């Protein structure tokens, strides 16, 4: 009855590995299927059940595809650069290389215990110099094509990690890694010009199969807005102040301007500013605030009027005051705005506080009470008066600005250029040399990889420089261009670098001439199906789409989008319904589950617990339910006899094959498993099945529970591996019943059921329904107003009583 998972699971894992049955063949004639899962960061804590869920979806689909005759590539690797390992080194003195190798070993053995059908011959490790050679190579290609630049900038600095963070890594003013408050610091920053690809990244979304909420998140992240730039002349100077607005139609209502505290116009015109001390003091005050305080905590508007600076509205000619206020950000648009209090909430609030005039230019609201942001007829707006739609008014205003030579249509993005350096040791060294004569010089391609030098002390400097800066042999070098003394860049790349192109390396992981052979790229790309977590659908996916599009533009990859289809699994919550975390003590260790119940049970339960794309809490007793199911499957050979089909089960088998086949494609694993459970119940109710039927059953179950089903397959004398056997086909005709049960309603309420032949003609069906004893009784004396028939489903009599 019961099977011994501790024996059969390692046995089959061994055999699969010996025979290398999950190896993908490059450029074979079979149709290809490239399934990609997000490769793990090999942390010291080992894997948790969330990893298993993340891989199980495409694991099942890959296994089904193999049985369907596809040449499947389902690879795995390790994204191993990153702060946790370096922090571990700082704490323990254990070199990140050593810790990483150990963790990868641990992850590998855990993944193998689950029986995943990965192609282990293609494993990659982003910290392997043979891998990051090509990460550096792509960086240099970007450098060569002008997509890399360096700038002094206020950066987010984590005083605890002693590291510069990108905006993405410091959301909410907290360090993404240690959750300390971040501070602003001026630094030299390497940037990748991802904004140059903003439109391509947006436009590409129209041609890929991502669910709408994922596309929407990427669209929001890129944050494109259209509007206009306009120059406001500074009174008494030749200078002007350029603003960006999405609402040029409201320009006649601009009664003041606001500039960001860091705006350079202050320095430029400080001689004219009468209250310079006050302005400086305000600027200082703002600089003290973190991004978090500025954006999150401060609800009330603050600001200072700049005495002595006034600007002229280019359309209305009106002279208006200029304010400095921190509700305008230097990092978006031009760092200066025209304020239209009548039709903008923030400007309204500011105007109310500072007693600035509010001029209505769009009818429809009551601006004495609140700003009006809707549409309406233009008023008080010169040539715009009378226009009734925003679209028209915007176009007219832009036309006028262009005519006058004081503005133009413009586009802005929320997405900023990608800050691409970290003051850290455990990352890819940035392959650039600083030469006093030649400036920034790239390391020649033939000198890659630029290898991380060994170190033994991982304590970071107070100044926040990388450890590499303390290694003279690394820093001091000759300029590749002029041969003179030069210094190496000591910053490394962020953790996102290695994962931005890893799916390409799987195609040719051992190639040392190119990152991947063009024929192999052509055969395998694009990734057919990419699954991962929701937390990666913006940053990681946008970064890697950016790299891919760049490689496409320079002719290195054959398609412009890397991922044809993307899905995202939901979290596994703790038994208490909370997110699993060590501190809450609600973490489930997959090893424990495998020890007690086996890998097949673990896999089955994780896919059965609920909608794959939604979060669901762990339940140990439900795990036992899956164990019971597999025990009953293990006992099926005892009641299997004869060949061919069992007439009572034939239709049920065809229906189940159909349901399981279709559900797997939609990642509806829970209902696929439920269908197999139902069939199993039917089989036991019937008391027996044929050997042929049993073979079909274990084929359907094989992608979910491969060890047990291989074992049964062997018992039955099946040829070769079940994992490579042909997926069962169903006969559509046999999934259709000849007799159907039809519900009979009176006034929409269920009053009985009758059996009808399939596709019974309307008149006949209604006749039979009326003739039903129970229905006839209830219809007696009532007037039938209407008769509704939904073929093979329902009959509804609408009646008036009496």
Partner RNA sequence: GCGGGUAUGGCGGAAUCGGAAGACGCGCCGGAUUUAGGAUCCGGUGGGAAACCGUACAGGUUCGACCCCUGUUACCCGCACCA
Instruction: Name which of residues 528 to 547 contact RNA (CB under 7 A).
Output: 534-535, 538
**Burial group, residue 549, by CB count within 10 angstroms (0-12, 13-18, 19+):** buried
Shortest approach of RNA to residue 569 CB, angstroms? Answer: 13
Is residue 745 close enough to count as binding RNA by CB under 7 A? yes
From residue 46, alpha-carbon distances to 92, 104, 110, 699, 726 in Å are 18, 9, 8, 32, 35
Please choose, out of 33-41, 181-189, 238-246, 381-389, the segment that lies near RNA by the rule CB under 7 A. Answer: 238-246
Q: Does 576 bind RNA (CB under 7 A)?
A: no
- The residue length of the chain stands at 802
The answer for residues whose C-beta is within 8 angstroms of residue 529's C-beta and 6 or more apart is 33, 34, 35, 36, 58, 61, 564, 565, 566, 567
- Shortest Cβ 2–RNA spacing (Å): 8
Rg (CA), the chain: 34
- Of these, 186, 220, 447, 457, which contacts RNA (CB under 7 A)? 220
Closest approach of RNA to the CB of residue 629, in Å: 6
CB closer to RNA out of 188 and 357: 357
Site residues (CB under 7 A) for RNA, limited to 408-447: 412, 414
Contacts of 801 (CB under 8 A, 6+ apart): 781, 782, 783
Q: What number of CA atoms fall less than 13 Å from residue 494's CA on the CB side? A: 22
Instruction: Choose between 280 and 684: whose C-beta lies nearer to RNA.
Output: 684
Rule CB under 7 A: which of 94-133 touch RNA?
none
Tell me the C-alpha distance between 53 and 567, whole Å. Answer: 13
Residues 175-214 that bind RNA (CB under 7 A): 212-213
Which of 651, 671, 688, 690 touches RNA by CB under 7 A? Answer: 671
Residues 725-744 that bind RNA (CB under 7 A): 741-743
Shortest Cβ 312–RNA spacing (Å): 18
By CB under 7 A, residue 167 contacts RNA: yes
CB of 746 vs RNA, minimal distance in Å: 9
- Of residues 778 through 797, those in contact with RNA by CB under 7 A are 786, 788, 790, 793-794, 796
Residues in a beta bridge with 755: 741
Please, what is the Cα angle at 389 between 385 and 395, to 5 degrees? Answer: 80
Binding-site size, RNA (CB under 7 A):
86
Question: In this chain, which of 48, 174, 668, 695 binds RNA, going by CB under 7 A?
Answer: 668
**Which of these segments, 97-105, 134-142, 216-224, 521-529, binds RNA (CB under 7 A)?**
216-224
d(CA 177, CA 450): 27
- Interface with RNA, residue 145, by CB under 7 A: no
Nearer to RNA, 265 or 742 (CB): 742
Q: Does 586 bind RNA (CB under 7 A)?
A: no
Q: Which of residues 51-90 bind RNA (CB under 7 A)?
A: none
Q: Quick check: 154 binds RNA (CB under 7 A)?
A: no
**With binding defined as CB under 7 A, does residue 221 bind RNA?**
yes
- Do the Cβ atoms of 259 and 341 come closer than 8 Å? no
Q: 451, 477 in Cβ contact below 8 A? A: no
Q: Which of 54, 163, 182, 673 binds RNA (CB under 7 A)?
A: 673
Question: Contact region for RNA (CB under 7 A) — 76-84, 96-104, 554-562, 609-617?
Answer: 609-617
Site string for RNA, 242-271 (x = CB under 7 A): --xxxx------------x-----------
Q: Three-state secondary structure along 402-444? A: HHHCCEEEEEEECCCCEECCECCCCCCECCEEEECCCEEEECC
Whole-number Å distance between alpha carbons of 431 and 269: 41
Q: Which stretch binds RNA (CB under 7 A): 130-138, 337-345, 364-372, 722-730?
A: 337-345
Helix, strand, coil share (%) of the chain residues, nearest 5: 40, 20, 40
447 closest CA partner among 478, 492, 486: 478
Give the DSSP letter of residue 463.
T
- E strands, 193-324, are 224-234, 240-245, 256-259, 304-312, 319-324
Give the whole-angstrom CA distance, residue 67 versus residue 665: 14
Contacts with RNA in 614-633 (CB under 7 A)?
614-617, 619, 621-622, 624-626, 628-629, 631-632
User: By C-beta, is 51 or 536 nearer to RNA?
Assistant: 536
Provide the minimum distance between the beta carbon of 171 and RNA in the complex, in angstroms, as a whole number. 5
x/- map, 279-318, RNA, by CB under 7 A: ---------------xxx-x--xx----------------
Identified binder of RNA from the candidate list 111, 337, 486, 551, rule CB under 7 A: 337
How many Å apart are CA 352 and CA 170, to the nearest integer?
Answer: 33
Smallest distance, RNA to C-beta of residue 275, A: 21
């Amino acid at each position: 009855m019961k099977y011994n998972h501790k024996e059969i699971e390692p046995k089959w894992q061994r055999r699969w590995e010996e025979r290398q049955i999950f190896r993908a063949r490059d450029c074979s004639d079979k149709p290809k299927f490239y399934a990609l899962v997000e490769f793990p960061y090999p942390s010291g804590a080992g894997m948790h059940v969330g990893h298993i869920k993340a891989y199980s979806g495409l694991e099942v689909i890959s296994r089904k595809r193999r049985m369907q005759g596809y040449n499947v590539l389902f690879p795995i690797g390790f994204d191993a650069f990153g702060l946790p390992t370096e922090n571990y080194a700082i704490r323990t003195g254990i070199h990140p290389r050593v810790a990483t190798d150990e963790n990868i070993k641990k992850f590998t053995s855990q993944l193998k215990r689950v029986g995943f059908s990965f192609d282990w011959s293609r494993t990659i490790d982003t910290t392997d110099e043979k891998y990051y050679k090509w990460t550096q190579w792509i960086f240099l290609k970007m450098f060569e094509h002008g997509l890399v630049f360096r700038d002094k900038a206020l950066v987010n600095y984590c005083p605890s990690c002693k590291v510069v963070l990108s905006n993405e890594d410091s959301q909410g003013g907290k360090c993404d890694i240690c959750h300390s408050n971040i501070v602003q610091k001026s630094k030299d920053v390497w940037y990748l010009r991802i904004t140059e690809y903003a439109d391509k990244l947006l436009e590409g979304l129209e041609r890929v199969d991502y669910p709408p909420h994922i596309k929407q998140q990427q669209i929001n992240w890129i944050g494109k807005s259209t509007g206009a730039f306009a120059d406001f002349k500074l009174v008494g100077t030749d200078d002007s102040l350029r603003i960006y607005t999405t609402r040029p139609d409201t320009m006649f209502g601009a009664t003041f301007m606001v500039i960001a505290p860091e705006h350079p116009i202050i320095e430029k015109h400080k001689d004219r500013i009468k209250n310079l001390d006050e302005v400086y003091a305000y600027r200082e005050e703002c600089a003290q605030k973190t991004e978090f305080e500025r954006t999150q905590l401060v609800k009330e508007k603050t600001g200072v009027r700049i005495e002595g600076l006034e600007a002229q509205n280019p359309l209305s000619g009106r002279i208006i005051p200029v304010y400095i206020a921190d509700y305008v950000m230097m990092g978006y648009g031009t760092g200066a705005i025209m304020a239209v209090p009548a039709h903008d909430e923030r400007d309204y609030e500011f105007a109310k506080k500072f007693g600035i005039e509010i001029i209505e230019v769009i009818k429809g609201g009551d601006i004495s009470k609140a700003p009006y942001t809707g549409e309406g007829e233009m008023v008080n707006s010169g040539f715009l008066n009378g226009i009734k739609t925003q679209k028209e008014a915007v176009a007219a205003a832009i036309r006028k600005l262009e005519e006058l030579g004081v503005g133009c249509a413009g586009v802005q993005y929320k997405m900023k250029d990608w800050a691409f350096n970290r003051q850290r040791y455990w990352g890819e060294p940035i392959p650039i040399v600083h030469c006093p004569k030649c400036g920034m010089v790239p390391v020649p391609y033939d000198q890659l990889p630029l290898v991380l030098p060994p170190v033994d002390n991982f304590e970071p400097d107070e100044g926040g420089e990388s450890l590499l800066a303390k290694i003279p042999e690394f820093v001091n070098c000759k300029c590749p261009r002029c041969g003179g003394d030069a210094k190496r860049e000591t910053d490394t790349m962020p953790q996102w670098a290695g994962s931005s192109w890893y799916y390409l390396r799987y195609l040719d992981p051992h190639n040392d001439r190119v990152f991947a052979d063009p024929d192999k790229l052509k055969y395998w790309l694009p990734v057919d199906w990419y699954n991962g977590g929701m937390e990666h659908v913006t940053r990681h996916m946008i970064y890697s789409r950016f790299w891919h599009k760049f490689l496409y533009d320079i002719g290195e990859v054959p398609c412009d989008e890397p991922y044809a289809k993307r899905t995202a699994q939901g979290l596994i919550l703790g038994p208490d319904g909370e997110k699993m975390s060590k501190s809450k003590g609600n973490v489930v260790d997959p090893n424990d589950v495998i020890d007690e119940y086996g890998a097949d049970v673990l896999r089955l339960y994780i896919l059965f617990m609920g909608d794959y794309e939604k979060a669901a809490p762990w339940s140990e007793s439900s795990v036992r339910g899956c164990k019971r199911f597999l025990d009953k499957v293990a006992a099926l050979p005892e009641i299997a006899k004869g060949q061919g089909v069992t007439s009572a089960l034939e239709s049920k088998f065809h229906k189940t094959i159909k349901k399981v086949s279709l559900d797997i494609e939609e990642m509806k694993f829970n209902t696929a498993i439920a269908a197999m459970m139902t069939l199993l119940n039917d089989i036991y109710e019937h008391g027996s099945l044929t050997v042929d039927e049993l073979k079909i059953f274990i084929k359907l179950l094989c992608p979910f529970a491969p060890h047990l089903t291989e074992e049964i397959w062997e018992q039955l004398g099946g040829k070769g591996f079940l994992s490579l056997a042909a997926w069962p086909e169903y006969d559509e005709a046999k999934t259709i019943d000849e007799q159907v049960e039809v519900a009979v309603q009176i006034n929409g309420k269920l009053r009985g059921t009758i059996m009808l032949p399939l596709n019974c003609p309307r008149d006949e069906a209604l006749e039979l329904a009326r003739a039903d004893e129970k229905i006839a009784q209830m219809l007696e004396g009532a007037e039938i107003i209407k008769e509704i028939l939904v073929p093979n489903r329902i009959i509804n009599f609408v009646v008036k009583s009496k």
